[in-house]
Amino acid sequence: MEHVIDIQHLSKSFGAHEVLKDIDFSVDKGEVVCIIGSSGSGKSTLLRCVNLLENPSGGRIIYKGVNILDDNHDVYAYRTKLGMVFQQFNLFNNHNVLDNCIVGQTKVLKHSREDAKKVAMKYLKVVGMEQYINAKPKQLSGGQKQRVAIARALSMEPDVMLFDEPTSALDPEMVEEVLKVMKQLAEIGLTMLIVTHEMEFAKDVADRVVFMDGGVIVEEGCPEQIFNNPTQERTREFLKRILK
Amino acid sequence: MSFDWIVKIMSENWLMFIRGAGITLYISIIGTILGFIIGLLVGVIRTIPIPERGVKKVILKIINFILSVYIEIFRGTPMIVQAMVIYYGAALAFDIDMNRLSAALFIVSINTGAYMSEIVRGGIVSIDKGQFEAAHAIGMNHIQTMVNVILPQVIRNILPATGNEFVINIKDTSVLNVISVTELYFQTKSVAGNNFRYFESFFITCIIYFIMTFTVTRILRSIERKIDGPDNYVMYANQMQVDRPENMMNRTTNDI
Ligand SMILES: Nc1ncnc2c1ncn2[C@@H]1O[C@H](COP(=O)(O)OP(=O)(O)OP(=O)(O)O)[C@@H](O)[C@H]1O
Ligand SMILES: [Mg+2]
């Protein structure tokens, strides 16, 4: 299988605090990988290192055969290939829904506005927000904001989508509408790396589940293995706590 | 009787008052706009994230140091003194006989710039970190992030403070009379020097200043409301030909 992203010996420290320790991990094309683990285990940091919102302290991130941590590598071009969805949505407050999905295409990818609009409408339709293109972010509910944020990331037509707890800031009744969209993306074969506390969703949608604890990957495997027959004591403890 | 004098002074000197007010407005408008631009530039430069090492770090540190010196000096000294030092200093040091009006514009702009730099910087750091991260995550560099995402929000937020600077400039250009710029205060002094009716002459000027500042404040408020836009949005009825979700993997850039 072809790796879209291949992470080797990745480490990250904040001062003396070593948050990620020697992480080896890859994502294949079309794969849906869910990262689970307790709070503070380094899941967000791993995701943020992958698109270089955090600067890794060591290791390699191989994308298309080159290490993007090499000094002369174009970070900005690389980031356009990864779509990021944040827990807090982070829609651009000064743009309406449509422009949120267009601005990256026109300003970064240098596409024409007409082309950008077609692409944006396509993905806004995917997330079911095409009727709201004139709305400003502050006029939307949390679930709607997150769906627009997903459309914004998709509009860049990235190779991989990264999700950092996309439903954790949502009221319970809005979680489902976002998970539904994500499930739909998984079905059409999008490559996705998802940090989540939604165990049912992970069981249901993931091709592979990664359990992290204390800055290391403790165990990874298909959902049946991780949830039904974990080999590691730490995984068992975590699942017992969270699924009780 | 004072009121008769006011009418008399007005009718005899209205052209001087108008000219003075015109110069005052001109200096304060241009000074505020240039100062605003200086403030934006300095604010953007001062918020460039400093890399952990390398030449860029050293250069940025030096630039930031120079910019803080600029800000501290111009905020820490009175404009009336700056006017004297710059105007006569330029003549003494470089043998430049500055045009008085250019000197005035320069002093007001650079002074406003120093205040605006801090206002802009405050505006930038108060924007949610998530806005920067989202912009970086779709591949924007610092300049693109600033221009397309951060500054539009900052400018909206600092508009009241900018209006404040504008009003201060309208009033503070009066100190430029020390280098004989023919703004409103200077003109009034000339008028009063001829007729010896100081109260009446300056009372007229007082009203003119107030009319100017009040009008400017009102205009800025309405601009703020315009920028904020309507409170509700129009639902978009979909007439565009849009791909079906199932086709979404047929991408324009198919290059994995
Ligand atoms: N910018 C930072 N500076 C210092 N320490 C940080 C920073 N970001 C994260 N950390 C620390 O790194 C550790 C891992 O954080 P991280 O956010 O990756 O955890 P997480 O697994 O995503 O947790 P959660 O489930 O709560 O989101 C934590 O101990 C956190 O305090
Ligand atoms: Mg996290």
Residues of B in Cβ contact (< 8 Å) with A86: 130, 133-134, 137
pLDDT tens, residue by residue, A26-81: 999 999 999 999 999 999 999 999 999 999 999 999 998 899 998 888 899 999 99
B140–A107: do the CB atoms touch at under 8 Å?
A: yes
Separation of CA A207 from chain center: 15
Closest to B51 (Cα-Cα) out of A59, A52, A86: A52
What interhelical angle do A142-155 and B129-137 show, nearest 10? Answer: 30
Q: Does A80 touch chain B (CB under 8 A)?
A: yes
pLDDT confidence of residue B252? 47
* A54 to chain B: closest CA residue: B133
Contact B43, B120 (CB under 8 A): yes
Per-residue pLDDT of chain B (256 residues; tens, 9 = 90+): 588 888 888 888 899 999 999 999 999 999 999 999 999 999 999 988 888 778 889 999 999 999 999 999 999 999 999 999 999 888 888 877 778 899 999 999 999 999 999 999 999 999 999 999 999 999 999 999 999 999 999 999 999 999 999 999 999 999 999 898 999 999 999 999 998 889 989 999 999 999 999 999 999 889 888 888 777 777 776 544 444 444 555 554 444 3
- B41: Cα separation from own chain's centroid: 12
pLDDT band (50, 70, 90) for residue A228:
very high
Q: Which of A45, A87, A162 is the best mutation target for the ligand 1 pocket, counting ligand atoms within 8 Å of the beta carbon and taking the most?
A: A45
**Interface contact flag, A90 B252, Cβ < 8 Å:** no
Q: Kindly report the CATH number that applies to the domain delimited by B3-255.
A: 1.10.3720.10
- Under an 8 A CB cutoff, do B233 and A159 touch? no
Query: How far lies B71's CA from each of A84, A120, B43, B74, B121, in Å?
Result: 38, 43, 11, 5, 12
CA A62 / ligand 1 centre spacing (Å) = 24
> Directed axis angle between helix B100-125 and helix B151-172, to 10°?
140
Q: Which residues of A touch B144 (CB under 8 A)?
A: 107-108
Looking from the CA of residue A212, the nearest atom of ligand 1 is 21
Contact present, A196 and A35 (Cβ < 8 Å): yes
Cβ–Cβ under 8 Å, residues B171 and B30: no
CA-nearest residue to B156 within chain A is: A94
How near does any CA of chain B get to the CA of A133, in Å? 7
How many A from CA of A24 to the centre of ligand 2? 19
**Element at A164 (helix H, strand E):** strand A160-164
- Contact between A79 and B139 using a beta-carbon 8 Å cutoff: yes
pTM over 0.90: no
The tokens for B132 are 């920067």
B135 contacts on A by Cβ (under 8 Å): 92
- With CB atoms and an 8 Å threshold, state whether A91 touches B134: yes
Dist. CA B116–CA A186, nearest whole Å: 49
How close is the nearest chain A Cα to the Cα of B242, in Å? 5
* Rg (chain B; Cα; Å): 25
Helix extents (H) in chain B: 2-46, 55-76, 79-94, 100-125, 129-137, 142-145, 151-172, 184-195, 198-228
Who lines ligand 1 at CB under 6 A? A 14, 17, 19, 37, 39-45
SS3 state at A87: coil
Question: What average pLDDT does the segment A210-214 reach?
Answer: 95
**Residue that the structure tokens 């944020």 belong to:** A149
Q: Nearest chain B residue to A104 by CA: give it.
A: B138
Domain residue extents for chain B: 3-255
CA of A215 to the centre of ligand 1 (A): 10
Cβ distance B141 to A76 less than 8 Å, yes or no, reads: yes
Query: What is the total residue count of chain A?
Result: 244
Atom of ligand 1 nearest to the CA of A195: 22
Contact A81/A160 with Cβ under 8 angstroms? yes
Distance from the alpha carbon of residue A40 to the mean position of ligand 2, in angstroms = 7
- Rounded to the nearest angstrom, the gap between the alpha carbon of residue B248 and the centroid of all alpha carbons in its chain is 47
pLDDT at residue A103, rounded to an integer: 97
**Which two structure tokens, joined as six digits, stand for A95?**
């743009």
- Note the pLDDT tens digit of each residue in A27-38: 999 999 999 999
Residues 126-155 (A) with a CB less than 8 A from some CB of B: 126, 130-136, 139, 149, 152-154
B235 neighbourhood in chain A, CB within 8 Å: 131-132, 134
| Å between A79 CA and nearest CA of chain B | 5
Structure-token pair, residue B173 = 């250009």
The per-residue b/e assignment along A12-35, b for 16 or more CB within 10 angstroms, e otherwise, is beeeeeebbbebebebeebbbbbb
Q: How many CB atoms lie within 10 A of CB A58?
A: 13
Q: Which ipTM value was assigned to this complex?
A: 0.94
- Single out the residue of A226, A152, A163, A224 nearest to residue A192, CA to CA: A163
Three-state DSSP at A66 gives strand
Q: Which 3 state secondary structure label does DSSP give A85?
A: strand
Partner-chain contact B235 A131, CB within 8 Å = yes
Residue numbers in A near B249 (CB within 8 A): 188-190
Q: How far off is chain B from A104, nearest CA to CA, in Å?
A: 6
pLDDT value, residue B241: 46
